[in-house]
């Protein structure tokens, strides 16, 4: 393989990565905590899009529980989002571990 072929392949991979990043912005994951009392939706770019809190979990005397539920749901949504990203990158790299392209 000559340098021109390598550069062409690198450009193709770069274009595929850009396409995947665009697609990930439109893919979502959902996670909840407290038996669905707090639900978080995130996209494939690890951005939290929404947080839904059931009214019955809102207790001014126990804000710590609500804070814990929100943190747990956000962390799970972000974990699922990273898994989604990893799946897409594995498709791109064919399972190869390429530094800078894996999460």
Judge whether residue 36 has pLDDT over 90. Answer: yes
Measured CA distances, 91 to 18, 60, 62, 74, 96 (Å):
14, 47, 45, 26, 10
Mean pLDDT value of segment 52-76:
94
Judge whether residue 23 has pLDDT over 80. Answer: yes
Judge whether residue 71 has pLDDT over 90. Answer: yes
pLDDT value of position 28: 95
Judge whether residue 77 has pLDDT over 90. Answer: yes
């Amino acid at each position: 393989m000559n340098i021109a072929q390598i550069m062409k392949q690198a450009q193709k991979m770069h274009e595929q990565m850009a396409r995947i990043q665009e697609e990930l912005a439109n893919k979502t994951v959902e996670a909840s905590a407290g038996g669905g009392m707090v639900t978080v939706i995130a996209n494939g770019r690890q951005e939290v899009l929404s947080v839904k809190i059931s009214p019955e979990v809102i207790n001014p005397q126990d804000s710590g529980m609500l804070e814990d539920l929100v943190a747990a749901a956000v962390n799970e949504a972000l974990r699922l989002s990273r898994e989604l990203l990893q799946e897409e990158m594995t498709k791109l790299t064919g399972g190869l571990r390429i530094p800078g392209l894996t999460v």
